[in-house]
Amino acid sequence: MTDFPDTLPPLTLTSSAETARSYAALTQDWNPIHLDPEFAAKAGFERPIVHGTMALNLLVEAVEKGSDGALRIADLDIRFAAPTWIGQALTAQATREGGETYAVSVTADDGRVVMRGNARLTPRNPDQRKPTE
């Protein structure tokens, strides 16, 4: 039986122009709002914004690493609450609310919660765990 911890260790990622370009290449999301400072400024942002799905992937990785691969996200209900800027550190967190349900969030280094919601975590089938190196 898999234990459901009260909290999973937070996981932090500091974005950069290089990580934004790499993420754009991986996802084929070349929207200039994530890559071009002039375009971002014309759109009303102080600088390029992090891909929202990058913050979401940070949360998925926090669950994976925080549970040593034993848990996975089965259901997810999130809201992207605010943009975050390239160059900011993002921290993903998950706190158990009861049963398999966790309150999840991603917070920017300026204290703004940029993504929040709930996730239902379930045990990962041992055959689906990431191979060890």
Determine how many CB atoms are found less than 10 A away from the CB of residue 98: 7
Q: What's the fold here for domain 7-124? A: Thiol Ester Dehydrase; Chain A (3.10.129)
Q: What is the pLDDT of residue 129?
A: 62
Q: What is the pLDDT of residue 87?
A: 95
Q: What is the pLDDT of residue 2?
A: 65
For residue 113, the surrounding DSSP H or E stretch is strand 113-123
Burial of 80 (0-12, 13-18, 19+ CB in 10 A): middle
Sequence ranges of the domains in the chain: 7-124
pLDDT in tens, the chain (133 residues): 568 999 999 999 999 999 999 999 999 999 999 999 999 999 999 999 999 999 999 999 999 999 988 999 999 999 999 999 999 999 999 999 999 999 999 999 999 999 999 999 999 887 766 655 4
Question: Given CA atoms 37, 43, 49, 53 in this order, what sign does their dihedral have?
Answer: negative
Q: What is the pLDDT of residue 125?
A: 81
CA distances (Å), 34 to each of 17, 23, 84, 94, in order?
9, 10, 10, 26
